Amino acid sequence: MRRVAALLAAALLAAGLAACGGGGAEPGAPDGATLVLDFQPNAVHSGIYAAQANGFFRDEGLDLKIREPSSTADSPKLVETGRADFAVMDISDFGIARERGLDLVAIAAIVQRPLAAVIARDRDEIRTPADLAGKTVGVTGVPSDDAVLDTILRSGGVDPSDVNRVTIGFNAVADLAAGKVDAATAFWNAEGVQLGRMGLQIREFMVDQLGAPRYPELLVVTRAEDARTETSRAFVRGLGRGYGVLAADPEQALNDLLDQVPDLDADLQRAELDALSRAHAFAGDGQSASPAVDPQSIRSWSRWARAQGLLDQG
């Protein structure tokens, strides 16, 4: 249980950091830092870009550079080796990285609920998880996908072996649209939105509504030794103010993202942000957007992840 306890301790630390208030940066605070995203910028990162556009990080004495990753596998290594100060990571990648000995802690949550789902291409044919029995279901090959699929299948009384599971990589949109698979694991806020805009009458089975707890899908992590530095505190304060913009005026937060990343499809990003907002994905307390980490949600995820084999039992 030592590794799991360490993970939970990290979450508790994160909650304390996220709750820190205060004004501007202390004298001598570092003025340069780098944040590596989990993926290319998109609507889920609107709170980050709102903080950047409105100068909230700079107000806190932090000159933050936001970078896209060359690979999601690079992020923990970049942080651990000091080549990046912060990284956005999927919670499963974070937990696995800690089990492998990387001394990382979570200091903020980008979203407050799982984004993972099983998406069925024909909502009339597949109405409940039980209807997935005997169907062909695509997975990326990432271990957390199998945990999501198995959880949703079991919620419908389906044995995980009773589906034809095929590895499709990150081609859920193309393969579902072409009818190569009946369903696939994917993010409801991204692939789900894209499929809907293509006119497919999909059905989404969200994992936290069908057996998994509500947990923060995406976290901001840093090295344990850096978690209580003024750089980290300044980042958390600035991010919190960015989420204030996201809570009060989502359209403004989206425009802040689009202004800084003009190559994005504005209509698609608006649809994705609308999906996130309607699902209260940013809301830590169920009412307003917040990047604070809830220790109980991390504990709940940890228990579920251990039960699914994502983390070691001991």
Instruction: Indicate whether 100 and 121 sit together in one domain.
Output: no
User: Whole-angstrom Cα distance, residue 281 to residue 43?
Assistant: 12
CATH code for the domain in which residue 196 is found? 3.40.190.10
Instruction: Indicate whether 169 and 291 sit together in one domain.
Output: no
Element of type H or E holding 51: helix 46-53
User: Whole-angstrom Cα distance, residue 117 to residue 148?
Assistant: 7
> Considering 209, 236, 259, which residue would you say is the last residue of a domain?
209
Residue 128 lies in a domain: yes
Instruction: Indicate whether 99 and 221 sit together in one domain.
Output: yes
Instruction: Indicate whether 122 and 109 sit together in one domain.
Output: no
> Considering 209, 237, 255, which residue would you say is the last residue of a domain?
209
Q: Per residue of the chain (314 residues), what is the pLDDT tens digit? A: 444 444 544 444 544 544 444 444 445 544 699 999 999 999 999 999 999 999 999 999 999 999 998 876 678 888 988 899 999 999 999 999 999 899 999 999 999 999 999 999 999 999 999 999 999 999 999 999 999 999 999 999 999 999 999 999 999 999 999 999 999 999 999 999 999 999 999 999 999 999 999 999 999 999 999 999 999 999 999 999 999 999 999 999 999 999 999 999 999 999 999 999 999 999 976 578 999 999 999 999 999 999 999 998 75
Residue 313 lies in a domain: no
In the chain, how many domains are there? 2
Instruction: Indicate whether 178 and 243 sit together in one domain.
Output: no
- Tokens for 113, please give them: 């609920």
Contacts for 297 with CB less than 8 Å, ≥ 6 apart:
112, 213, 214, 215, 216
Residue 55 lies in a domain: yes
Residue 314 lies in a domain: no
Instruction: Indicate whether 186 and 267 sit together in one domain.
Output: no
Instruction: Indicate whether 295 and 231 sit together in one domain.
Output: yes
Instruction: Indicate whether 196 and 221 sit together in one domain.
Output: no
Instruction: Indicate whether 220 and 96 sit together in one domain.
Output: yes
pLDDT of residue 72: 64
> Considering 181, 209, 237, which residue would you say is the last residue of a domain?
209
Nearest to 32 by CA among 229, 260, 265, 287: 229
Residue 54 lies in a domain: yes
Residue 299 lies in a domain: yes
Residue 84 lies in a domain: yes
Instruction: Indicate whether 191 and 60 sit together in one domain.
Output: no
The answer to whether the beta carbons of residues 172 and 138 sit under 8 Å apart is: yes
Instruction: Indicate whether 91 and 219 sit together in one domain.
Output: yes
Measure Cα distances from 46 to 27, 116, 215, 218, 245 in Å.
Answer: 29, 19, 19, 13, 9
Instruction: Indicate whether 173 and 225 sit together in one domain.
Output: no
Residue 312 lies in a domain: no
Boundaries of domain holding 163: 116-209
- Tokens for 46, please give them: 């609107």
